[in-house]
Chains A and B, each alone.
Chain A
């Protein structure tokens, strides 16, 4: 049984993960809740971690695997109201996850669990030549700009600048974040990094980002992008395979 202070914040987590995956197996143990899975095409990976400390209350015995249909969970979470607390309660007898919104009253959905097991995927240990921290909404806006021009985007780090660019058949777009840019928090690089990525996936991954959030990007040349940010007490990490010329 786990209680989160803001159901509405957690809704964003579920929305974002549901953009990429159809189902997920949550692992709940005394450290908190984690989950990791690749999308069916193996282009993207989502890793979710909600540390025990993010919960207002958290009770567990042993370790539980909770298989969830994300489309159904998303629909339920969309009913969260702004002051609702969220209680997630595993009913092992009925094989259901109770999703409870608590405010002046108490609304309970019982979500049927899926018979899936947790994936054994470990994050690959990749050495990245460049790490960029920037304001999440600035990154999201640059991706939306690029989306007007093409279906892919090039993310580059060169000369202590982070660049988002794309070329269409007729039109081009580029956004530069250098040390003078208030959106750029930090940039560490050993040499250049340049990789191209599918924009649809990237836009799905940044869906939950809002003003004030900070994203951390790990980049290389023709390497997967690693993207991290925190949302509603959850740490989200995404990997996205590059497009290669």
Chain B
């Protein structure tokens, strides 16, 4: 049976956006 992972994000979208921009 499929096991789902709880959505446990500790970060805001702005923080993730900044993190991704770092790869540019």
Task: Decide if A and B are genuine partners.
Answer: no
